[in-house]
Amino acid sequence: MDVIYCRCAGLDVHKQTVVACARLAGDGAPRQEVRTFATTTSGLLALADWLESVGVQHVAMEATGVYWKPVWHVLEGHFTLVLANAAHVKNVPGRKTDVNDAIWLADLLAHGLIRASFVPPLAVQELRTLTRTRKQFVRERGSHAQRIEKILEDANLKLSVVLSDILGKSGRAVLQALIDGQTDPEQLVRLVVGRVKASRAELLEALRGRVSTHHRFMLKLHLDHIGTLDKAIAQIETEVGLGLEPFQQAAKLLSTMPGLSSVSANVLIAEIGIDMSRFATPGHLLPWACLCPRNDESAGKRRSTRLRRGGKWLKTTLVQAAWSAVRVKGSYLQAQFHRLRSRRGAKKAIIAVAASMLTAAWHMLRDGTEWHDLGAAHFDRADAAKTANRLIRRLQQLGYTVQHTPA
């Protein structure tokens, strides 16, 4: 095989050490130098100085947890860096050592056999950290809400039956009264304000239970934790707003797509950025987001078309947005969903809608255009004859004799 990079290096990154192999090709056989450095700041600076001293220009490393990030930050700007997916550069089994892994990475990089992973710019990385942390806090808040409901059920209080949101204004007032020691249903009912579907008699029955001191302690514990999480989420949203200032125009464009709220648009930008030159076509972006069928073929037979694991942050957001988009009446996405659901089922249909939304986002970010809905009749217009034949066959199956004349 031809050598693409004559002077390159492979790094096997760990928590405390980095094993570096510099591959230096000359007139004869390539020469390899292997050294081990600490992952402290001084150790990484020494690594950078050594790589420069031997004339290395390209460096490859595996994406191992978060340990690769400080190495990347120190070397960025001094070398052409390539981040490899560990599953794509796995070495031959039975010969695995830290030195062999570094040599293997250097050899693969020298021959151009490593597909670089997408590493967004620093501003997008920081925005991505904020949006992911926000999602984790929202999930944690939901978990505590479920624990509060579990405690109420243990005390035989059916608050979630009569109130749609036990953490709303009325729900919080009732919970605070229970924590303060109030157990009289008549007094608790007075705290329920606004319109509720339940009658007064139903409210009284739902709020008549047996609350112990232990229940009050646990309710206070979870309610205080939820308050702390609410404050943290509000702070994160403020930081996201500041971090999105350079990307405001792109966020507004994506928000014109059905199903994509401002929060979903922010997550989309934080995950893929706004520079679509990183992905040559939408067909390169969809596999990166794990939103297309896997290739699993042997002896001419396709064994599995399940989605690959991965992309959990972007994939889950797009699927949630797709469920919102298919509820927009008269839209292209709704028509696509119903068209595919009848043949492939709802799960595969919603994944196809999410993939269509990501494809549209790629074009919108690349061209700077807003969403243009093709309409629910797009598929009928695209192949009118096929649609007419399908409807005629259906009528014939129902026992009708059909004679059709084009208008």
- Express each pLDDT in 224-242 by its tens digit: 999 999 999 999 999 999 9
Residue 38 within a domain: yes
Report yes or no: 56 and 30 within 8 Å, Cβ to Cβ. no
Q: How does pLDDT run across 31-83, given as a tens digit for each residue?
A: 899 999 999 999 999 999 999 999 999 999 998 889 999 999 999 999 999 99
Residues 178-224 have pLDDT tens digits of 999 998 988 999 999 888 888 889 999 999 989 999 999 999 999 99
Domain-embedded: residue 354:
yes
Concatenate the DSSP letters of all residues of 75-101 into one string.
HBTTBEEEEEPTTTSPPPTT---HHHH
Considering the domain architecture, whether residues 310 and 282 belong to the same structural domain is answered as yes
pLDDT for 133 equals 95
> Which CATH number is 98's domain given?
3.30.420.140
Examine the fold and report which residue of 243, 261, 293 is the final residue of a domain before the chain moves on: 243
List 59's β-bridge partners, or say none: 9, 81
The pLDDT value recorded for residue 228 is 96
Together in a domain, 254 and 372: yes
Contacts of 53 (CB under 8 A, 6+ apart): none
* 3-state SS class at 201: helix
Q: Please state the domain count of the chain.
A: 4
Residue 82 shares a structural domain with residue 199: no
Look at residue 89 and tell me whether its pLDDT is greater than 90.
Answer: no
1 within a domain of the structure (yes/no): no
Higher local confidence (pLDDT), 149 or 65 = 149
Mean pLDDT of the chain: 91
pLDDT at 282: 93
From 243, 261, 286, give the residue that closes a domain.
Answer: 243
Q: In terms of domains, do 208 and 309 share one?
A: no
* 358 & 274 share domain: yes
The predicted pLDDT at position 65 comes to 87
The 10s digit of each residue's pLDDT in 256-297 is: 999 999 999 999 999 999 999 989 999 999 989 989 888 877
pLDDT in tens, 360-394: 999 999 999 999 988 888 887 777 778 888 888 98
Reported as a single tens digit per residue, the pLDDT across 331-349 is 999 999 998 998 889 999 9
Residues 258 and 372 in one domain: yes
Element (H, E) at 147: helix 122-154
Residue 143: pLDDT band by 50, 70, 90 thresholds?
very high
Are 210 and 272 in the same domain? no
Please tell me whether residues 301 and 394 are part of one structural domain.
no
Residue 95 reports pLDDT greater than 80? no
Token pair recorded at residue 378: 């797009």
What is the average per-residue pLDDT within 7-29? 90
Residue 133 shares a structural domain with residue 184: yes
Residue 115 lies in a domain: no
| Domain identity same for 164 and 49 | no
Assign 140 a pLDDT band (cuts: 50, 70, 90). Answer: very high
d(CA 382, CA 65) in angstroms, rounded, equals 47
Which amino acid, 366?
R
- Looking at the fold, whether 262 and 232 belong to one and the same domain comes out as no
Q: What is the pLDDT of residue 49?
A: 95
> In the prediction, which pLDDT does 229 show?
96
The last residue of a domain, from among 243, 274, 290: 243
Contact call for residues 5 and 58 (beta carbons, < 8 A)? yes
Q: Look up the domain containing 387 and give its range.
A: 377-407
* 388 within some domain: yes
pTM, two decimal places: 0.83
